[in-house]
Homo-oligomer: A and B are copies of this chain.
């Protein structure tokens, strides 16, 4: 057999947990939304929190990819552009990832330390390394803390993604096209940290 209900539960959990958090969704709603019986959650995941952890794990697996960008080496400015593009692409392929991310950042569950925190750490640390690299090359100003610059960059991009939907509704300002956004953020950030 194919464990179709398992897949359906992961899908429903991904959407619902992202929308309302771990405590905002009941097992009954989860299983109803997955067209499964209420006992399937415990059967496959050992309980509600097990499903949450499974969803988290699946969503955050793709964070490993940041290291590819760094390993390929090259110009720090190009790597920063790579990071922005990668983040936007990730946002398109994992539409609920950012919600989990910020949701866990503000209201961390016990799985934060195991799954989310290492994922964040990897990204910020890699970004800071790229920036420190640019500093050593004399390409970036050295009077800025590399980790501060890394969180500034991550914050710019993540916050924009998060507020895109709200922005559209609030300001009638259609969220800028990807390419336009990349150009604006690259301009602001890289011009801001360049030396000279």
Q: Does A191 contact B (CB under 8 A)?
A: yes
In the assembled complex, the Cα of A36 lies from the Cα of B84 at a distance in Å of 49
Known: A120-B166, A188-B149, A188-B193. A20 touches B144 (CB 8 A): no
Considering only CB atoms, which chain B residue lies closest to A116 in the complex?
A: B166
A85 at the interface (CB under 8 A from B): no
Q: Give the Cβ gap from A140 to chain B, nearest Cβ, in Å.
A: 10
Interface stretch of the complex, out of A3-11, A52-60, A154-162: A154-162
Is A141 interfacial (CB-CB < 8 Å)? yes
Q: Judging by beta carbons under 8 Å apart, are B20 and A107 in contact?
A: yes
Q: Give residues 122-145 of A contacting B (CB, 8 Å).
A: 124-125, 128, 141, 143-145
A170 interface residue per 8 A CB criterion: yes
